Every structure is written in structure tokens, then in C-alpha cells.
Amino acid sequence: MEGLKLEKYKDVSIQHLDSEAIDNETSYINYEVLTYPADYTLEGLVNKLDKELIKIPQFQRKYVWSMAQASRLIESFLLGLPVPAVFLYSDNDECLNVIDGQQRLLSIYYYFKGYFGEEKHGKRTTFKLAGLKKDNPYYEATYSSLRQSNHVAFNKLNDSVLRAFIVKQIQPNDNTSIFHIFERLNTGGTQLQGQEIRNCIYHGKFNDLLIRLNKDASWRDIFGNKALNKHKRDEELVLRFFALYNNRAKYSKPMKDFLSNFMADNRDPNDELISRWEKLFQETAGAVVEALGKKPFILTKGLNVAIFDAVFTTIAKNIKILDKKKIKNDYSRLLNDDSFIKSASSGTTDELSIKTRFDICEKILFR
């Protein structure tokens, strides 16, 4: 959809609920995690990146270092100075995912490839060591020039070692530890939020679907803001719908782990399932706007997540028997139900509270 832009101001799109804040706080985590060091030569790291044996997640906070910052890193290797380790997560025997160290790894990769940063307007900037004094032997040196004129330095750089700590979850048999590890270790200038982290570590066809559906016209009318939320809270609501629609019977708190597990388990669905989910969401969003109008889940300040969860998912479950004329009155009755509103106002995400909201919603809207 044209015209969409990232929201730049304070996030007031979603109603603040204490339960949501509590759910996002660090909960007790009982993991059996294996962590072990591995020393890679820079030449070996670049080869692994080329073969995608090490994957750097693609998300909105891409490469942000200046050439001077990246040059200091390369100079440190040339001088034999210590460089902080990177953290890699092993979710299978073939691929390692970068948890922390993206800027360092990309700086190394770019220098070895001879260019700095991504291609812009069909052109690439040559990576020369910048920010060094003119009497520095590595002043404006490129990887290619080192190979031609300074074999000792060239070989030293190739053979320089960057230590990595590889993390592998043993127990429990789920996908949640990478989320918590990334949450604690990511060292960007701004702390990433829940869906920003998932977007980073669970990229795939399902994540692409969430991004695409988040721009749906009817969904933007429901969310109540044409601008995309800068912390991906709107995108997270789309994920909440699919997770609760498909897996509510297996729900257990905290919500953030429930969402992470669902996204990891459905990282790359087949095309038939992607098409079915896309149609379901768009049909439901369109029906909600037609029957309940724009911003139907904004009762005070911002969208009430608890009401959205229950109503949107229940309508999707009953989309084939939905009476768009009748449901508007039924929705008014639901919003006057003391038990439902009390539960929705607290927004508590324990199993019983969610079951209660869904049961009341089903009873009033479709019985």
C-alpha cells in the first residue's frame, strides 16, 4: 500500500495495560543451554557468510556503522588487538544465526569484499581504511591493496581470529531461548521490542506474510493509524491473531513466548497454507470494518489488545456464518457485559482469563 510510513512519534496506538507490561518483563526461565567457544579466522568467517552457514538476520536496523568505525575494527585485527566476541545461535547442525555481533561481522565481510555497505543507486563505495593518520601504514588501505603491497599484513588479517560463543538450546524442546538471549544481548543503540526481535530471528515466509498483511487497508482502519508502528506492535497483533486462531487450546503464559514459539514453528509454511491464512485475515478484517466500522477496538486511548484478541479471532472462526447486520448489536451487548469488560480492562494473559474472554465473546456474538 502506497503512502505508508513508519510512525515517528510516541506510541499511543495501543492502550496501556499493566498486564501487557508485566508479560513483557523478564520471567523465570529454566533452560538447559549449551554454550561453547569457537575461534574462526576472518577468512573462514567470510567463507561461511558467503555459503550462508552463518546468517545475519535481515530486519529494519541494518548496517549502521560508519566507515571510520569499521576501519578501527579492521585496524585492531591488523595490530593484533583484542576484539569482543560475537554470539551465534545454533538451531540445527548446518546454520548459525547471529545473535550479537552483526556490525562486526558485516564490517569484516565488506572489507574483504572491497566495498562498504549496501549498494546504492547501482553503485558501491570502495572500502578504504578511514579515520587513520597519514603516517599510519594502513592509511586508506583496501583489502586488495594489502594483498598487492603488504603480504605480511594481508596474511595476518586473513588468519586473525574472532572468537564466537555458540549457543544451543537443549531443553525444553521449544524455540524460546533464542528470543530471550537476543533480548538480553542485542547491543543496538535502542533496545529492540518483542516483534522487532522476532522479525530479526524468525525471518521467513510467515514473517513476510505478517509484514504484508500489516499493510492491508482494512487492517489499518482497524488498528486506527495509517502509519506503521515503529516497534512493530501492529505487526505483533497480526501474529497474535494467527497464534490464538490456530493454537489457543495449547496456550500457556507468557504471551511473548507463546508468540515466539508459534512464529518459529511456522517459519516457512507451504504456499497453500500461506494463501489460506492470507485470505482468512483479509476476509476477517474486511468483515470487521464493514460490520463494526473503523477503530472498533479503541474504547478509550488506543486499541485494547484483549478485546481485539477475542473478537477478531472469534469472528474469523465463525466467518462463514457471520451476520454483518446482527453482529453490530451483539458487539454492543458484549461491550456492556461486566465480566467481559472487567477481564478486557485488565488484559491479563493467563490461561483462564483468555479462555473466559473467548467463551463470553463466542456466547454473545454467535449463539
| pLDDT tens figures, 156-215 | 999 999 999 998 877 666 556 666 676 666 555 456 677 877 876 777 899 999 999 999
pTM comes to 0.66
The answer to whether the CB of 146 falls within 8 A of the CB of 160 is no
Confidence of residue 21 (pLDDT cuts 50, 70, 90): low
Q: Which residue would you say has higher pLDDT here, 172 or 3? A: 172
The cell for 151 is 603480504
Asked whether residue 149 carries a pLDDT value surpassing 80, the answer given is yes
pLDDT at 61: 53
Helix (H, G, I), strand (E, B) or coil at 258: helix
| pLDDT more than 90, % of the chain | 60
Q: What's the mean per-residue pLDDT of the chain?
A: 86
pLDDT at 194: 79
DSSP calls for 62-127: -----HHHHHHHHHHHHHT-----EEEEESSSS-EEEEE-HHHHHHHHHHHHTEEEEEETTEEEE-
Helix (H, G, I), strand (E, B) or coil at 178: helix
pLDDT at 1: 40
Q: Which residue would you say has higher pLDDT here, 73 or 11? A: 73
Pairing of strands 161-171, 115-120: unpaired
pLDDT at 9: 37
Asked whether residue 246 carries a pLDDT value surpassing 80, the answer given is yes
